[in-house]
Amino acid sequence: MGGCTSTTAAEDPAAPTASTSQRKWTRNSKKRADFQLAFLGLDQGGKTSLIHSLVYSQHYSSDAASDGGTSGAPGGETAASGAAPAPSSSDEPAASVGRAIVPPPTSTILSNVVLIEDERIELIDLPGDPKERRRWEEVVDCATGVVFVVDSADPMRIPVAKRELWNMVNRLRDKCLPTLVLANKQDVDRAMDVHNVAGALDLLSLRSLTDPAPITVRASSMFNPTDTKQALKWLLTAVVSLASLKKAEGEMDDLADF
């Protein structure tokens, strides 16, 4: 598949400089991590905010562990190593909501690297604007797993999310990638629960298209990065298990040739 990762801001002056871990993603850069997870979903679904909550929570946790919890965010809050303020511009400043930083909507493909159980995980953040969705396939072709983020507080757009999810799975069936659907914005009172989101997306039927790659849905919120991390652990386990299955099938095929 060739190199599929990112360039640093120094290498690409146009790249945003949200944190020391964030890069502008390009197809031909050197590999940054052992796992590449493509974050897809409609615009305003909260993909970028979820990624930033993971990055910042990791940073504050690292700071607290190194100095007894006295550095990092005010009031003992914990938050990704070497991270600078969330990305912003004069046109679209980042906003602070509660204890989380809400970055502006993504207009380019960005990459952050986080540690999950000592594994380096590259989180590739793709724009969800209709004009940009055609680029999803290019990035997923380089990924080891897919995270599809759904705004569960916006039921009017669930049918559009379903269409895009099903289209993506159909176009990339040969890739056979494990897929994690995140029912996002569970902190919002009107949000649909996980079971209703799964039903609205008809995930039970979709599993017949993704098999043997698993697909599941989990709850998420930018205010609860722990739940998001647990969901990503499921995805990483699924990636490893599927790779082992493919390897075993390949070895069986080799034996059958003798």
* Residue 216 is labelled as binding a ligand: no
* Residue 43 is labelled as binding a ligand: yes
pLDDT at 82: 34
* Residue 47 is labelled as binding a ligand: yes
* Residue 250 is labelled as binding a ligand: no
* Residue 115 is labelled as binding a ligand: no
* Residue 75 is labelled as binding a ligand: no
* Residue 184 is labelled as binding a ligand: yes
* Residue 226 is labelled as binding a ligand: no
Distance of CA 243 to the CA centre of its chain: 20
* Residue 162 is labelled as binding a ligand: no
Domains detected in the chain: 5-247 (3.40.50.300)
* Global confidence as pTM: 0.75
The single-letter code of the amino acid at 208 is: S
pLDDT at 203: 96
* Residue 2 is labelled as binding a ligand: no
Tens digits of pLDDT across the chain (258 residues): 444 544 433 333 333 333 446 777 666 555 678 899 999 999 999 999 999 999 988 766 555 555 554 444 333 333 333 333 443 333 334 444 444 555 566 668 888 999 998 899 999 999 888 888 887 888 888 899 999 999 999 999 999 999 999 999 998 888 889 999 999 999 999 999 999 999 999 999 999 888 889 999 999 999 999 999 999 999 999 999 998 887 776 655 555 555
